[in-house]
Amino acid sequence: ALAGLLILPQSILLGTTFPLMSAAVLRAAPSRPGNVLSWLYFTNSLGGAIGVLIAGFLLVRIAGLPGVLAGAAVLNLVVALVAFVLSKRLPNEMVHVSAAPPSPASSNLPPPIALPRLQRLLLGVAFGTAVASFAYEIDWIRMLALVLGSATHAFELMLSAFILGLAIGAISIRKLDTLRSPLHTLGTVQVAMGLLAIFTLPVYVASFEWFTTIMAMVNRTDAGYTGFSVLRYGLCLLVMLPSTICAGMTLPLITRSLMVGGGGEGAIGKVYAWNTLGAIVGVALAALVLLPGLGLKPMLLLAGGLDIALGLLVFHLLAARRRVAIGAALGAMTIGAIALTVPLDRALLTSGVFRSGSLALATDAKVVYYADGRTATVAVGEGENGGHWISTNGKPDASLGPWWQEACSDTTARRLGGDEITQTLLPLVTAAYHPAARTAAVIGFGSGMSSHLLLGIPSFTSVTTLEIEPKMIEGARVFLPANARVYEDPRSHLVIGDAKAHFAAAAERWDVILSEPSNPWVSGVSGLFTVEFYVRVKAALADGGVFGQWLHTYELSDNLVLSVLAGIDAVFPSWRVHQVGPGDLLVIASAEPQLPVMNADAVLRA
């Protein structure tokens, strides 16, 4: 509800701009509605594709998020001023696009379908193809995140590539006014879009190998990163472009056909509205239902089948039986062939090629758990030594050696190594700063070890673990019995949701808050390393409470590490840094002027 209040007013206004702009230009040039619509859809989409890259790669670094928002607002005001100036200079009397269909002698019309039936058909296709297109987008972004990584820049490249395809498609159909039958073209484009989307699966599988080549080519310098980003963008285009070009053709075809078929310029707003509604439904359906319910491959095949079915529906209403038969046969053969011959190997998908530049993990590890969740793809792998690791979108978040699943012994000493050091020391060192603590909140489930170890301290009456991805909690059961308390102890409380939202809404305050989400460079996770989040954490601490922040030093520059520490320093009056692993830091902070004295003996005795 709060997000709606913040975004909805300007989103409603944004939704009116394209129909108003289109109507104004069409009134000035009513003789070529198809050409005008194609250019307008092209320029609008091209601006979106460029804007994503400029904002993400340049403006955020220069001006920060508030500066980008302010800059966009100023740009909108400039556009408004230009529109007012043009409205004064254009003639007062402008020709409206006729709602009545032109005569067959003067224009190439779609087949004679009555307006009510034509409107139902075209608005239904506009809605349905948006559902399919945004299911593609959700699917491609998740799939490519397993190749390119989940960093913010990777997401921006994917989004820009998707929108650029729409722009190219719109401009490629600019001569649609000369088409003999735009509706037949629409049907063909819909079928082609579905087929090309399905064919992205073998291209995607091959992209893992291509990415290893890209990683080997580029230098780890600023100039090298620029080249690296260009090559990643090219990889996104290889996967997305063929199908999105078709998607970009559909709205000019649909809008123009409905306009000259009797809908007039009001068709612009109707098509835009139904297409946008389809996009909303498509995103919600894909992200919340289809992806976690079916998985990546079945969802893409289903979305491709929807586009093919829409094309066949258009052919059916045009009585184009031969095209229906050909399209149905091509669709069935393509879906069947790809479903049977292009497997999505789970070890390949979770190989983390974007970090190592190697596919070694795809051959060395055995995947014992895999699930495409709502927010991430979660996998648990088993190494040759019997140890396990858990990953989100191909990036390992926790691991334990095989001996953690053996029975405990008072006579056998074990030396911690790798992630085990961090996973053990994070909760214990944090708790040592507040031996009297009774309640704790842990941000990020990981292997479940942090919450498990805190629950091993008898004085704790409640440990709340916050995790945004349910599949993470499900997958971590592989680590049992090493994390048994987090699942079985009645003092353990699991909360599925966003940590920022939970702290903002919850009235509860905690003695200990331990934050150990994934790495700061992961898209969506970076918000848990900001001043705004630390302010919420400080407000959620009980009197005398302590906050523990895990921070790694690998895969981060010194400036980024210092920026996180500066954020903590801006909020908490006292803090201290512990090195808890070869590349891992634990920052202990307090809202009190003086940080409590660490009492490790009290925790170890407990």
- Cα 345 from Cα 493, distance rounded (Å): 35
Backbone CA torsion sign across 519, 525, 529, 530: positive
315 and 462 in a single domain? The answer is no
Sheet arrangement for strand 366-372: 366-372, 377-382, 388-392, 395-400
- Tell whether 388 is covered by a domain: no
The confidence score (pLDDT) of residue 126 equals 96
- Tell whether 381 is covered by a domain: no
The confidence score (pLDDT) of residue 86 equals 85
Last residue of a domain, one of 324, 342, 360: 342
- Tell whether 355 is covered by a domain: no
The confidence score (pLDDT) of residue 102 equals 46
Instruction: For 166-179, write each residue's pLDDT tens digit.
Output: 999 999 999 988 98
336 and 421 in a single domain? The answer is no
- Cα 546 from Cα 514, distance rounded (Å): 9
463 and 555 in a single domain? The answer is yes
- Tell whether 2 is covered by a domain: no
The confidence score (pLDDT) of residue 103 equals 41
- Tell whether 97 is covered by a domain: no
- Rounded to two decimals, the pTM is 0.88
- Cα 494 from Cα 154, distance rounded (Å): 31
182 and 284 in a single domain? The answer is yes
Would strands 584-590 and 395-400 be described as parallel, antiparallel, or unpaired? unpaired
SS3 of 482, please? coil
Chunked mean pLDDT (size 10), the chain, 606 residues: 78 89 85 90 95 92 88 92 84 53 43 78 96 96 93 91 96 91 94 97 95 89 88 95 96 92 88 95 95 96 97 94 96 97 93 86 81 94 88 90 74 75 90 94 94 94 95 95 94 93 88 89 83 93 94 86 93 94 90 89 72
Burial class (CB in 10 A: 0-12, 13-18, 19+), 391: buried
Last residue of a domain, one of 319, 342, 365: 342
- Cα 63 from Cα 311, distance rounded (Å): 46
- Cα 251 from Cα 37, distance rounded (Å): 9
Domain of 432?
416-605
The confidence score (pLDDT) of residue 109 equals 45
- Cα 467 from Cα 375, distance rounded (Å): 11
309 and 181 in a single domain? The answer is yes
CATH of the domain at 227: 1.20.1250
Please report which residue ranges of 90-109 form alpha helices under DSSP H: none
Q: What is the largest CA-CA distance in the chain?
A: 97
- For 88, residues 6+ apart whose C-beta sits below 8 A from its C-beta are none
Last residue of a domain, one of 342, 377, 393: 342
The confidence score (pLDDT) of residue 261 equals 84
Total number of residues shown for the chain: 606
- Tell whether 406 is covered by a domain: no
180 and 51 in a single domain? The answer is yes
* Nearest to 389, CA basis, from 404, 374, 408: 404
304 and 431 in a single domain? The answer is no
- Tell whether 363 is covered by a domain: no
Using CA atoms, how far residue 392 sits from 377, 471, 502, in Å, is: 6, 10, 21
Of all helices (H) and strands (E), which one includes residue 177? none
* Nearest to 210, CA basis, from 340, 354, 339: 354
446 and 321 in a single domain? The answer is no
- Tell whether 380 is covered by a domain: no
433 and 326 in a single domain? The answer is no
Would strands 541-552 and 510-515 be described as parallel, antiparallel, or unpaired? parallel
Task: Give the long-range contacts of residues 106-112, CB within 8 A, separation 24 or more.
Answer: 107/260, 108/177, 108/178, 108/179, 108/180, 108/181, 108/182, 109/260, 109/261, 110/181, 110/182, 110/183, 110/257, 110/260, 110/261, 111/181, 111/183, 111/318
Q: Are 395 and 522 in contact (CB under 8 A)?
A: yes
Backbone CA torsion sign across 307, 312, 317, 320: positive
CATH of the domain at 527: 3.40.50.150
Domain total of the chain: 2
